[in-house]
């Protein structure tokens, strides 16, 4: 292109980053606010089925393509005793839930969650209480979920309605244990020793499980990334993944910086990936540990966390707008660009509490952030490709020099289908863009969808639910493995290609 304000993208199907793990499109459901009660489970809603599940929520999560669901916390899990949530509902105790200061009825627990995962068609990821809980409690829950009949806990599972083992594969060894806000917070050494010994007991119950070790609670922590190094050095051989958490913020209402957040996300992954390499080399281990970004989202407008000792209080019901959706789209592109080390990601959370879905008792709203997630989970298949991007840059207060265009791409050799994901960060300029493919050349564009707007603060509401949502646009023609298109400002575009 001769226009200096333009972009050129080269996508070579031979330049593979790695396989795209289906578990990058996961979610998180915590007993916080209205995520479980009045979200997933609401027997009083006209949309409830015979199990008390919201049918409209279940359908929306299926459409979202949730592949793995983390439960039950979060901060909640550090004082949660799983036995409170199994057995006849009328015999389960009501508890004062200390993390969010709400009343927990325990009407929804382990069996209900695992049943929900089956209905949703996703893998479960169970969190364990490493605050007030013991390593014996952790091993007992593995036995309850995964052991064959013939022992007390497996027989109790059968009595509670599920004879066959659940075969839960993914287990979180606590949550944010370096956080001073965490009930039973530990030093890195204390935590790692507990995690290592718990994992040994858990694997004695079921050697096939995969464990997720707590990392530091985020890049803002003074413990980051030293906590991660220390914990890994102690518990490396008993860990399969290292948990990482992060939330994007725009408290300054600095949209140009906010839209450059992918630089921060990539730095977070790269720092922890380097830590993994260092520890593996130091220990001279042949075992690999990968990353699990099992809490991520935009969260800064509603930080309410005090439930006033109510059942299902309205907590952190963030309202998402266009710029939030563009940040989510970039975050998911980072998942693809770092998929060599990042294998699991869980959007925190899935309903009502900092979620892409909001409910009233009668209705459901898909927020702006719903749509990027859906488009990635639907179209990002096969192999992630290392796209070469040449485009104008702009300066931000927070991240310095940032490219105007954010790009990721995938190709699935099994189907011949490819996808390109593009965010134009410009607040006011359309970006002429040329794309050229090398290697396996696509022959046609089968789909072009675009989420865009002129107001970065525009949001969906129950009265106006379609303010921010993707629209089909005419797919550009591919000629000789190349195409051109115009990317509007403040836009997210998905292109899907195929063979003839």
Q: Which residues are catalytic?
A: 176, 295
Alpha carbon distances (Å) from 302 to 181, 311, 456: 18, 19, 18
Q: Helix, strand, or coil here: 328?
A: helix
Residue 136, phi then psi, degrees to nearest 5: -65, -40
Separation CA 152–CA 140 (nearest Å) = 10
- Tell which residue, 297, 498, 264, has the closest CA to residue 381: 498
- Tell which residue, 9, 111, 2, 123, has the closest CA to residue 404: 9
Strand order in 388-390's β-sheet? 388-390, 7-12, 431-438, 482-487
Cis link prior to 349 (omega < 30° from 0)?
yes
Separation CA 247–CA 21 (nearest Å) = 22
Separation CA 422–CA 435 (nearest Å) = 11
CB atoms within 10 A of CB 260: 25
Angle, vertex CA 148, rays to CA 146 and CA 149, nearest 5: 130
Judge residue 4's burial from the number of C-beta atoms within 10 Å of its C-beta, 0-12 exposed, 13-18 middle, 19 or more buried: exposed
């Amino acid at each position: 292109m001769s226009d200096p304000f333009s972009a050129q993208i080269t996508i070579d199907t031979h330049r593979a980053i790695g396989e795209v793990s289906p578990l990058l499109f996961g979610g998180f459901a915590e007993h916080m606010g209205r995520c479980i009660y009045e979200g997933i489970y609401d027997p009083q809603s006209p949309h409830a089925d015979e199990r008390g599940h919201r049918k409209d929520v279940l359908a929306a999560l299926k459409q979202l393509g949730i592949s793995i669901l983390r439960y039950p916390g979060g901060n909640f899990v550090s004082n949660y005793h799983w036995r409170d949530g199994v057995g006849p509902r009328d015999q389960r105790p009501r508890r004062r839930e200390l993390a969010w200061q709400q009343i927990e009825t325990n009407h929804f627990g382990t069996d209900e969650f695992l049943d929900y995962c089956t209905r949703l068609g996703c893998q479960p990821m169970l969190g364990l209480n490493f605050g007030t809980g013991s390593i014996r409690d952790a091993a007992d829950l593995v036995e309850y979920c995964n052991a064959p009949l013939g022992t007390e806990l497996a027989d109790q599972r059968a009595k509670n309605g599920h004879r066959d083992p659940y075969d839960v594969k993914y287990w979180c060894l606590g949550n944010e244990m370096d956080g001073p806000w965490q009930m039973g917070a530990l030093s890195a050494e204390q935590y790692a020793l507990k995690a290592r010994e718990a994992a040994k007991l858990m694997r004695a119950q079921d050697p096939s499980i995969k464990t997720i070790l707590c990392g530091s609670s985020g890049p803002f922590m003074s413990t980051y990334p030293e906590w991660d190094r220390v914990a890994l050095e102690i518990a490396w051989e008993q860990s399969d993944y290292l948990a990482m958490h992060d939330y994007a913020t725009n408290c300054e209402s600095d949209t140009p910086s906010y839209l450059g957040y992918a630089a921060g996300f990539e730095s977070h992954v790269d720092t922890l990936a380097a830590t993994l390499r260092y520890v593996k080399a130091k220990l001279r281990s042949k075992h690999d540990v990968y990353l699990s970004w099992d809490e991520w989202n935009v969260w800064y407008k509603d930080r309410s966390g005090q439930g006033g000792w109510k059942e299902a209080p309205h907590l952190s019901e963030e309202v998402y707008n266009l710029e939030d959706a563009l940040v989510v789209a970039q975050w998911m592109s980072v998942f693809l660009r770092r998929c060599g080390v990042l294998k699991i990601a869980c959007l925190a959370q899935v309903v009502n509490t900092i979620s892409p879905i909001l409910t009233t008792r009668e209705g459901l709203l898909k927020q702006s952030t719903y749509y990027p997630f859906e488009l990635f989970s639907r179209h990002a298949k096969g192999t992630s490709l290392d796209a070469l991007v040449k485009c104008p840059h702009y300066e931000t207060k927070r991240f310095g020099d940032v490219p105007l265009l954010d790009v990721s791409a995938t190709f699935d050799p099994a189907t011949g289908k490819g996808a390109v994901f593009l965010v134009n960060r410009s607040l006011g300029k359309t970006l002429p863009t040329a794309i050229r493919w090398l290697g396996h050349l696509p022959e046609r564009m089968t789909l072009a969808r675009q989420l865009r707007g002129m107001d970065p603060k525009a949001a969906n509401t129950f009265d106006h639910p379609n303010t921010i949502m993707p629209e089909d646009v005419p797919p550009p023609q591919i000629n000789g493995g190349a195409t051109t298109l115009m990317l509007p400002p403040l836009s997210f575009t998905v292109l899907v290609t195929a063979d003839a």
